[in-house]
Structure 1
Amino acid sequence: MSRFDTAAADWDKGDLRQHIARNVAETILKHIPLNDSMDLLDFGAGTGLLTYNILPHVRSVTAVDTSPKMLEMLQSKSTPEHQVKTACCDITQMPLSETFDGIISSMAMHHVEDTSAFLQTLYDHLNPGGFIAIADLDKEDGNFHSHGNDGVFHFGFERETLTKLAEQEGFTAISFCTALTIEKPDRPYPVFLFTAMTKS
């Protein structure tokens, strides 16, 4: 059983993860003109903290995660008005058959080893003119995760490096802003929102 499966039942306890999801969702809504005809994918959706903040603004969200227990927690929050499709898989290894108008993600990219291949996977899952909106840590010293760094492949990211990788994969309109800053005893940890589009 993965660390995420083990942690799923208690994942939403405490304020920090809720705070991150709310701020990321608010920043997405400020920068992306969502509408009720859009079908989105939430990569690394976990228990759906970001999913359910975005769902009222679009037609559908498909939540993708490799942890079945996390997705069980996500589904337990569904209501007749707010239904979420789920896919328990690693889309970098097992691509989905459908494409989407946009892909959102919060604090998941640092768990993916090959960032370039990840961005290509996202591009391949998007409709022409589709967008990505990815929140993750700016480059840090490896001390962010208090539980240790098992399964963490990147201690945050340099925005310039991500820009170059995204350009190489064909993304356009690449932009960054700071969605929030997480204050920890040792230092502040800025979280960026990285947006880009596929060619129309």
Structure 2
Amino acid sequence: MGTYFDGQASNWDECPLKLERAQITANKIKKIAFHSHESIVDFGCGTGLLGLQFYNEFQQVHLVDASSKMLDKAKAKIDAAKIDNTEIHNISSISELKSEHSVIMTLMTLHHIEDTKEFLFNAFNKLEENGCLIIADLFKEDGAFHKHNPNFVGHNGFDVEHLTELAKNVGFSVEQCGRYYEIWQENYEGIKIEYPLFLFVARKIS
């Protein structure tokens, strides 16, 4: 996954729809009541379009990605803005984080991770008590969303009822899951259709 996104890094921020998606997602997340604003993780952060919108909201921001080229772009933004409370981590699994956090969020990343249950398990273990997991991703689709990437290995979106059950089985209390955004893209027939995204919010409560 890191190799594909390394090749996308140079022009990632030139897409206005990606900027809009990150902004709308950040606005939705900022309305959530968190037990603590000590530390937030943006997993699959890319160039930091989402995570860097939280450096004034949390004491510490952690940008995590498997793509070193994406993180280079994020680091350049951090340096240019002289942000002193944000760290980058070039890792591929949440399990590699060294401490627990108040919030873990991920935007359009979970569908790239083959083992969803393992991700949820690792996220649960890296959250503080009452910590929050936020997933923004695609509803179930027919596979056309990634037709431009023949090497895509992952999920064609998610059945949110199944995702909710997986999260509950890991130990999360699921607080909300609903549609909040749409991406318009061509399907297999070349017709532009909408691919809706959901915002999933779960809390770690023993």
TM-score by length of 1: 0.92
Percent identity of equivalent pairs:
35
How far has the Cα of 1:34 moved from its partner? 4.8
Q: Which residue of 2 aligns with 1:189?
A: 195
Matched position secondary structure for 1:56? coil
- Is residue 67 of structure 2 the alignment partner of residue 75 of structure 1? no
**Higher mean Cα deviation, 150-159 or 41-50?**
150-159
Instruction: Tell me if structure 2 keeps the 8 A contact 1:35–1:59.
Output: no
Q: Which residue of 1 aligns with 2:43?
A: 43
Aligned ranges 1:18-57 → 2 under 5 Å: 18-30=19-31, 32-34=32-34, 37-57=37-57
How far has the Cα of 1:149 moved from its partner? 4.6
How far has the Cα of 1:82 moved from its partner? 5.4
Q: What is the rounded CA distance, in whole Å, between the counterparts of 1:82 and 1:143 in structure 2?
A: 41
What are structure 2's unaligned runs of at least 5 residues? 186-190
Instruction: Tell me if structure 2 keeps the 8 A contact 1:36–1:57.
Output: no
Q: What is the rounded CA distance, in whole Å, between the counterparts of 2:90 and 2:139 in structure 1?
A: 28
Instruction: Tell me if structure 2 keeps the 8 A contact 1:163–1:174.
Output: no
Instruction: Tell me if structure 2 keeps the 8 A contact 1:43–1:64.
Output: yes
How far has the Cα of 1:174 moved from its partner? 3.4
Shift in alpha-carbon separation, 1:36–1:81, aligned structure 2, 3 A = farther
How far has the Cα of 1:61 moved from its partner? 1.1
Look up the equivalent residue of 2:76 and give its one-letter code. Answer: S
Q: Which residue of 2 aligns with 1:101?
A: 102
Matched position secondary structure for 2:50? helix
Instruction: Tell me if structure 1 keeps the 8 A contact 2:34–2:132.
Output: no
Corresponding pairs, count: 198
**Higher mean Cα deviation, 69-78 or 81-90?**
81-90
TM-score by length of 2: 0.89
Aligned ranges 1:13-162 → 2 under 5 Å: 13-30=14-31, 32-34=32-34, 37-78=37-78, 79-81=81-83, 83-91=85-93, 95-162=96-163
**Higher mean Cα deviation, 33-42 or 18-27?**
33-42
Q: What is the rounded CA distance, in whole Å, between the counterparts of 1:4 and 1:54 in structure 2?
A: 23
How far has the Cα of 1:156 moved from its partner? 0.3
Q: What is the rounded CA distance, in whole Å, between the counterparts of 2:150 and 2:197 in structure 1?
A: 18
Superposed CA offset, 1:78-102 (max 9, x none): 122454201111125x522211001
Superposed CA offset, 1:131-153 (max 9, x none): 01110000011111352252341
Instruction: Tell me if structure 2 keeps the 8 A contact 1:105–1:134.
Output: yes
Look up the equivalent residue of 1:50 and give its one-letter code. Answer: L
Matched position secondary structure for 1:12? helix
CA RMSD, 1 decimal: 1.8
What are structure 1's unaligned runs of at least 5 residues? none
How far has the Cα of 1:189 moved from its partner? 0.6
How far has the Cα of 1:69 moved from its partner? 0.7
Shift in alpha-carbon separation, 1:182–1:82, aligned structure 2, 3 A = farther
